[in-house]
Amino acid sequence: MIFNSFRPLAHTLRTPAAIILIAVLTGCSAVSGFFGSSVKKPQPAELQPVVALVPARQVWSARIGEVAFPLQMTVAGDTVVVASSDGTVAALEARSGRDRWRTNVGTPIAAGVGSDGKLAAVVTRSNEVVALDNGREIWRQKLAAQAFSSPFVAGGRVFVLAADRSVNAFDGQTGRKLWTQQRPSEPLVLRQAGVMLAVGDTLVVGLAGRLSGINPLNGSIRWEAPIASPRGINDVERLVDLVGSVSRVGSSVCARAFQASVGCVDAQRGALLWTKPANGAQGIAGDDRLVFGTEADGRVIAWLRADGENAWSTDSLRYRSLGAPVVVGRSIAIGDAAGFVHLLSRADGSTLNRLSTDGSAVAATPVLSGNTLIAATRSGNVFGFAPE
């Protein structure tokens, strides 16, 4: 098998009495009632008038249905695959937004969607993995625990990271379970997408605060590199799960540990390159020089990829409940809770443009296919923009 080609509160886990899922809201929000108190959210920064230094226009929009789960859109060539809470899964032509195929899996979706361009997979609220071949269901399999990360489809297999920190591998055509890798579980887990990607012939997965290199053939651990270690005196403070998305350049994989740190690992050797303290709950993006991320208070930071030193930061989007960024030309694109997609300069964080959607929160990290920037909202609309 050639791996180079592949590119949170419920009590339904395996040990329901021992594990609690935390729903994570972006920005500076509190878990109300968990410890008997709540914290009032600061007011979001007022948006200033913007001169469009990077012109961009909306070229299409499509409808998929409301999104109330941690959606991860997948780009495969000139196709973007999306999903909605009501069970809809659709493959859209990235340049036009037209359906290549569309189906409904017949039950609400909890996580999705992963695809290699032909095979797509989602996880339902009833803890089933559902695999679709060009929109036609070919199998579904029950998981032993909930999942909030979209399945990862590669090398003819479907990999699922579950909320009990198990990794499960299924045959892509038959659904036969091939192996399960179970790691020690913490009392709390995030209702948020985790980390899974391929680097060469290794499946790289975020397990608690570590990046782990797994043999995709049998599930054995090849190496582990800590991005963060549990700290603090209570279970919330000790929660350091890795959250998607990540930045990969060659064998360098950079990731965020929830409200703890950002770090980079050499995924060929399994060696930690650096970590820096960081207080964010969303994934990161990057290029060959910089790594970009949004902090819990809305500050946007760029770290040097070589050593993690701070390159720049900006407070212009404070408390706007930002998602994870994506690199778009000389910009990074970041969605917020008001439905805006902000284009900031990769060089210094200055605002280059601001794109409007439908006024509801941007539901997933925007993705780029060719020259089309694609954003989906909680209200269930998908927008294609063409930056110039």
Please write down the HEC assignment for all residues of 199-264.
ECCEEEEEECCEEEEECCCCCCEEEEEECCCCCCCCCCCCCCCEEEEEEEECCEEEEEECCCEEEE
Q: Which tokens go with 79?
A: 């196709």
Q: pLDDT at position 335, please?
A: 98
Q: What three-state secondary structure class fits 157? A: strand
Report DSSP state, residue 316.
T
Q: Which phi and psi (to 5°) does residue 4 adopt?
A: -60, -25
Q: pLDDT at position 233, please?
A: 74
Mean pLDDT per 10-residue run, the chain (388 residues)?
Answer: 36 37 42 47 91 95 96 95 98 98 98 94 97 97 95 97 94 98 76 94 95 97 94 78 95 96 97 97 97 98 98 98 97 98 98 97 96 97 94
Q: pLDDT at position 185, please?
A: 65
Q: pLDDT at position 38, please?
A: 57
Q: pLDDT at position 235, please?
A: 74
Q: pLDDT at position 236, please?
A: 76
- The residues facing 259 across adjacent strands are none
| Stated length of the chain | 388
Give the containing element (helix H, strand E) for 28: none
CA–CA gap between residue 375 and residue 75 (Å, rounded):
12
CA–CA gap between residue 105 and residue 7 (Å, rounded):
25
**Which one of 2.40.10.480, 2.40.50.140, 3.40.50.720, 3.40.50.150 gives the CATH number of domain 47-69+293-302+312-388?**
2.40.10.480
Q: pLDDT at position 239, please?
A: 86
Enumerate the domain spans of the chain.
47-69+293-302+312-388
> Whole-prediction pTM value?
0.90
Q: pLDDT at position 316, please?
A: 97
Q: pLDDT at position 86, please?
A: 97
